Amino acid sequence: MERRLAAILTADAVGYTQMMGNDEVATLETLDAYRSIMGGLIKQHGGRVVDAVGDNLLAEFPSAVDAVQCAIEIQRQLAESNRERPEEKQMRFRIGVNVGDLIVVGDRIVGDGVNVAARIEAEASPGSVAISRSVLDQIDGKLPISLRDKGEYTLKNVSRPVQIYEIEAEADQGEGTQEKSAVRVEPNVPGFGGRSAIAVLPFRNLSTDPDQEYFADGLAEDLITSLASLRIYPIISRNSSFSYKNQPADPRQAGRELGAHYIVTGSVRKLGGRVRVNAELVDSGDGRQIWSGRYDREISDIFEVQDEITAAIAGAVGPALYQSEMLHAIRRAPKNSDAWDCVHRGMWHLYRYTREGVAKARAWASRALELQPDSATAYCLIAFSRMYEVIYQWVDSRDEPLAEAMQAAEKAVAADRDDPLALTALGFACSLCGFRDRAVAILERAVQVNPSSAIAFWSLGATLTTAGRPDEGIPMVEKAMRLSPQDPLMNEFLFTIGSAHFMAERYEEAIEYAQRSLDMKPDQPGAWRIIAAASALLGKMGEARRAVGQMVRLAPDLTEERLRVFLRDEDVERYVKGLRLSGWTG
C-alpha cells in the first residue's frame, strides 16, 4: 500500500437520473461520448483516469496546474459539444479539483484527498470547475484565470471547513465570445497575413564547459529550420532571434520586439558523457507556458544526438501550436475572424470527430477560402472533413465525398507543393481511393519535407498497413508516437498499430492496441471490430460477443462491402470470418 500527494479531479453529470428516465439509450450514448472527450484530455494533460462508475469520473494528476488546465479544457469542449447536440441530448458536468494525500490500492485511490474532491465537486455550479484552497496555493500566479470565492464550507465526513473557489476563466466560453487576455501581441504582424509567428531564442549553455556553446547554438539553429518546415507558421530569422544571445530575455518582451506570438526557449547542460536539454513553448501575449519537454541522452555521436533532440522538440511543438491557435480562434468573436482564425476554428471543429463538427469545419474552411483563395490549409480541412465522413460512415455513398476530398487535396498541393499537411491530405485521399502506390510515394515525400510531422508518419504507416505491408507500417506509426506523445490523434495511432497486428495475424497484440485506443476514445467501431474479430479467431468467444455488440451499437450499418472500401480482399475475409464467429450478421 502506497501513500502519495496528488491532484485529484472528480466529475459528475448534472441531472443524470432524470435523463436516464427520459431516454436511457440516448443518455448512455452521450455519457460515452463525453467520457471519451474527458479521458483523452486527461491523458493529454499527464493525468490518469482511475475510475468511471455511473455518471462519475475520477482522475489523478501529479500536478495541480495540469489538473486545473485539464478541467477548464474539459468544460470548454463539453460546452461546445452540447451546442452541437439537440437539447434533450445535452449533458453538463460539475468538476471538483483538490490536492491532498491519498492511498494507492492496486489501480484505485482512496483517502481524504479523494473525499474532499468529491465534496468540492458537489458545490460547483453546472458546467463549472470548483477548487480547494490547497489547489489555489499550487496554481496561484501560474494560470491566467479568475476566481470567485464561494467561502468556507463544512463538508460531510470532512473534519475541518474547506475554502472553495469557483473558476470563472472561460470555462463556459465558445464561439462568439470575445477572448479575454492580458497584454497580447498584435496578431496581424505586417508581412505575416495575420498568421502567428514563432521565434526560437538561443538555447542557454548551463555546462561548465564553454566549448559546449556550439551544441546549444546548433540545437536552436536546427530547430528554426525544422519548425520552418511546418509552413503554416512564419519563423523569425536566425539573425533576429540570435540578437538575444547572452542576454536575459523575458518571452513577453521578446515577443513584442520580434513580432512573434510564440517563443521557444531552452537550455543545455552537459555532464560527463550525458547531455540534458530542456525546452519550452511560451505564448508571448501573457507569458503562459504551452508546452515543455526534457530530453536526456548519452553522447556517442554529438551530431546524431543533436538531430534526434531537434526532431523530438519540433515534433512536440507542432501539435502544441495547433492546439493553442485553435483555442485562440474559437474564443474570438466570429465577426472578427480573418482567414487564419477561420482555418483554426475549422480545425477545432474537425477534432471533435462528430458529424456536426466535421460539417462546421468544412464551412469555416470555405469561409477562409473566400478571404484567402490560395490557403493550402483550408483546402486540407475540406479534404480531411470529407474523408472523415467516409471513414466514420456518415454518408450513404463514398464516391462524391472522396472525389471532393481528392480535388481539395490536389488544390492544397498546388497552392504549396512543399506543405507537409497538404501532401499528407493528398496521400491519405489517394489511399482511400485505392491508389496506394501513389499514396505511399506522396506520403514518403511528406515525411521527407518535414521529418518532424507526426501526422505524416502516421498516414504513411496507415497506408502501408492497408497496402498489405503492416510490418513496414508499424515503425512509421511508432515514430509518430515518439514525435508527438500528447497528440490529439493518439487514439488513431494506437488503432492503426492494432490494425497492422491484426493483418499480420498477431491477434493478442491487435487486441492490446485496440483496447489502448478505446481507453482514450471509447466510441470507435473500428477498434471494437478488431477486438471482436481477433478474440473470436483466438477462441475467446465471450470477449468477442461483447465487442461485436459494441461495434454494432456504434456502426449498425456496417457491411462487408463497406469494409472493402479500406481493406484488401484477404484482410476483409479474415475480419468477416472472425465477426461471423462473434455473431455478426451484417
pLDDT tens for 236-294 read 867 678 888 877 778 888 888 887 888 898 888 877 778 888 888 888 877 778 778 88
- Residue 326 is predicted with a pLDDT of 60
Q: Among 225-229, 295-299, 369-373, 483-487, name the most confident range.
A: 369-373
- Residue 236 is predicted with a pLDDT of 81
Q: Do domains 198-328 and 332-416 have the same CATH topology?
A: no
Ramachandran area for residue 359 (φ above 0: left; ψ -120 to 50: alpha; else beta): alpha
- Residue 142 is predicted with a pLDDT of 72
pLDDT-wise least confident of 95-109, 199-213, 445-459? 199-213
Q: Is pLDDT of 109 > 90?
A: no
Q: Which residues are CB-neighbours of 522 under 8 A, at least 6 positions away?
A: 32, 35, 36, 39
CA-CA distance, 29 to 331, in Å (whole number)? Answer: 28
**Can you say whether the dihedral through the CA atoms of 99, 104, 110, 111 is positive or negative?**
negative
- Which pLDDT band, with edges at 50, 70 and 90, does 155 fall under? low
pLDDT tens for 389-412 read 988 878 888 899 999 999 999 999
CA-CA distance, 490 to 501, in Å (whole number)? Answer: 17
Q: φ and ψ at 6, to 5 degrees?
A: -155, 165
Q: Which residue has the cell 471509447?
A: 522
What does the CA dihedral 532, 534, 537, 538 come to, rounded to 10 degrees?
A: -110
CATH class belonging to 490-586: mainly alpha
How is residue 220 written as a grid cell?
536552436
Q: Does domain 332-416 have CATH number 3.40.30?
A: no
- Residue 185 is predicted with a pLDDT of 31
Nearest to 12 by CA among 34, 40, 44, 45: 34
pLDDT-wise least confident of 204-218, 368-382, 539-553? 204-218
Q: φ and ψ at 350, to 5 degrees?
A: -60, -40
What global pTM score does this model have?
0.59
463 and 431 Cβ atoms separated by less than 8 Å: yes
Mean pLDDT of 464-492: 87
Q: Print burial letters for 287-307: b (CB count within 10 Å at least 16), e (below 16).
A: bbebbebebebeeeeeeebbb
283 and 198 Cβ atoms separated by less than 8 Å: no
346 and 372 Cβ atoms separated by less than 8 Å: no
Mean pLDDT of 308-333: 67
Q: Quick one: which H or E segment has residue 11? A: strand 2-13
- Residue 348 is predicted with a pLDDT of 80
How is residue 397 written as a grid cell?
455513398
Q: Does domain 2-166 have CATH number 3.40.50.2000?
A: no
How is residue 348 written as a grid cell?
477545432
Q: CATH fold of 426-488, please?
A: 1.25.40
State the amino acid at position 174 in one-letter form: G
pLDDT above 70 covers a percentage of the chain that reads: 88
444 and 460 Cβ atoms separated by less than 8 Å: yes
Q: Is pLDDT of 1 > 70?
A: no
Query: Where does 198-328 sit in CATH, by number?
Result: 3.40.50.10610
Q: Is pLDDT of 179 > 60?
A: no
CA-CA distance, 234 to 243, in Å (whole number)? Answer: 18
CA-CA distance, 228 to 223, in Å (whole number)? Answer: 8
**Can you say whether the dihedral through the CA atoms of 84, 352, 413, 434 is positive or negative?**
negative
Q: Which residues are CB-neighbours of 335 under 8 A, at least 6 positions away?
A: none
Q: Quick one: which H or E segment has residue 100? A: strand 93-105
Mean pLDDT of 61-87: 86
pLDDT-wise least confident of 155-169, 419-433, 435-449, 484-498? 155-169
577/139: higher pLDDT: 577
CA-CA distance, 361 to 386, in Å (whole number)? Answer: 10
- Residue 60 is predicted with a pLDDT of 93
Q: Is pLDDT of 230 > 80?
A: no
Q: Which residues are CB-neighbours of 536 under 8 A, at least 6 positions away?
A: 544, 578, 579, 581, 582
DSSP per-residue string spanning 363-415: HHHHHHHHH-TT-HHHHHHHHHHHHHHHHTT-SS-SHHHHHHHHHHHHHHHHH
How is residue 78 written as a grid cell?
463539453
- Residue 178 is predicted with a pLDDT of 39
- Residue 307 is predicted with a pLDDT of 76
CA-CA distance, 55 to 111, in Å (whole number)? Answer: 21
4/211: higher pLDDT: 4
pLDDT tens for 548-577 read 999 999 888 888 988 887 789 999 999 999
Mean pLDDT of 89-99: 93
Q: Print burial letters for 337-355: b (CB count within 10 Å at least 16), e (below 16).
A: bbbbbbbbbbbbbbbbbbe
Per-domain residue ranges for the chain?
Answer: 2-166, 198-328, 332-416, 426-488, 490-586
Nearest to 37 by CA among 87, 78, 94: 78
- Residue 189 is predicted with a pLDDT of 41
Q: Is pLDDT of 188 > 50?
A: no
Q: Which residues are CB-neighbours of 392 under 8 A, at least 6 positions away?
A: 353, 355
Give how far Cα 484 sits from Cα of 225, 428, 446, Å: 18, 19, 16
276 and 315 Cβ atoms separated by less than 8 Å: no
State the distance between the two ends of the chain, measured CA to CA, in whole angstroms.
48
**Where do the DSSP E strands lie in 135-244?**
147-153, 162-167, 198-200, 204-205
Q: Is pLDDT of 497 > 50?
A: yes
Q: Which residues are CB-neighbours of 586 under 8 A, at least 6 positions away?
A: 552, 557, 558, 559, 560, 579
